[in-house]
Amino acid sequence: MDILKEPSHGTPELPVAFYTNEYSWKDPFAFYSHWHDELEILYLEKGELDIYVNSIVYSLQAGELILISAAAIHYAKMRGSRDSILHALLFHPDMLYTLRQIDSVNIQYLDRLRNKEINAIHVSTKRHTIAKLVSLFTETRHLLEVKSFAYELLIKARLAEILYCFFDANKKNDTVTIASPAQNIIEKSLQYIREHYADELTAELLAEQACMSISNYERIFKRYTAQSPVSYIMVYRISTAADLLRNTSLSVSDISMNVGFRNFSYFNRCFKKFMSMTPSEFRKAAKE
């Protein structure tokens, strides 16, 4: 699911996952706003994307990479008139964390990535570093797929190398940010939407919880997510419905109710608007 706080990636024993997605240039968003506890490394193989991390934009060209800190709110918009191919490697910082109270790796690098001191690191000009990162990317994916003897040790080593490459490329120009009160407010709102999407939800309710006027709340919400609260709730409900259509045998009407739609006809119209097909057509296509 490409919105709100995602579930954990990988397994509890090995919290590492690799994904490849293709995006059409005709769609305004490559992926919608979300956040997760893992660090995320994106490698853009083809196309152009604007990656927004905590409302800061990083423009990626084909062949560039970006490291996104843990728990950062991020989304991507399409640029240009070419489809995009994006590879994502996610891993929990605990993979490299030690339990020692004083550890320079924890303090200088991992803590900064998980405590929102570093927003993101974009590697765009250092060709040698990019080549090294792509090689490590490819090797890590191969290790996850093949699972040869003691591959977990090699994965840890490769993840440490990947972080080294990012920090080394950025040693003179750290992108340092401190989480703002506004960012924390939006994170809480996103979590509330995730937990209560089936209930009656309004922008007014969310603004009241944040102790803000509706106008200020909507402005800040859009800055961090590129959507209004109402649009965001709609996208989350439709995305959840798509998951249920794909993975359960619940009837379409039951799914409509389960994701917060009280009017079945309205659910059908909204689903078709966002997914370019009716719920029944989507379920049929997902089974083919």
Domain residue limits, the chain = 4-169, 181-287
Q: Which 3 state secondary structure label does DSSP give 251?
A: coil
Give the integer Cα–Cα distance in Å for 228 and 223: 9
One digit per residue, the tens of pLDDT, for the chain of length 288 reads 343 445 557 788 899 999 999 988 877 888 888 888 899 999 999 999 999 998 888 999 999 999 999 988 898 988 888 899 999 999 999 999 887 667 888 888 888 888 878 889 999 878 889 999 999 999 999 999 999 999 999 999 999 999 999 999 887 655 555 556 787 888 889 889 989 999 999 999 999 999 999 999 999 998 888 889 999 999 889 989 988 998 899 999 999 999 999 899 999 999 998 888 899 998 988 887
pTM for the predicted model, two decimal places: 0.73
CATH number corresponding to 4-169? 2.60.120.280
Distances (CA, A) of 127 to 10, 179, 192: 30, 31, 42
Contact 207, 213 (CB under 8 A): yes
**Is there a contact between 53 and 68 (Cβ–Cβ < 8 Å)?**
yes
Distances (CA, A) of 152 to 82, 100, 155: 37, 21, 5
Q: At what angle do helices 264-275 and 229-247 cross, to 10 degrees?
A: 90
C-beta pairs of 54-57 under 8 Å, 24+ apart in sequence = 54/116, 54/119, 54/177, 54/179, 54/183, 54/224, 55/183, 55/223, 55/224, 56/119, 56/120, 56/175, 56/177
Q: What is the pLDDT, as a whole number, of residue 213? A: 93
Dihedral angle sign, alpha carbons of residues 144, 40, 225, 188:
positive
Question: In the prediction, which pLDDT does 101 show?
Answer: 64
- Which neighbouring-strand residues pair with 84? 23
- Buried residues in 246-260 as b, exposed as e (16+ CB within 10 A): eeeeeebeebbebbb
What pLDDT does 73 receive?
87
Instruction: Give residue 183's pLDDT.
Output: 77
pLDDT at 279: 93
What b/e readout covers 136-168, taking b as 16+ CB neighbours within 10 angstroms? bbebbbebbeeeeeebeeebeebbeebbebbbe
Paired tokens of 184: 């924390």
Domain 181-287 fold: Arc Repressor Mutant, subunit A (1.10.10)
pLDDT at position 199 is 93
Q: How far is CA 231 from CA 35, 85, 194, 228, in A?
A: 18, 26, 14, 5
Nearest to 133 by CA among 161, 92, 157, 109: 161
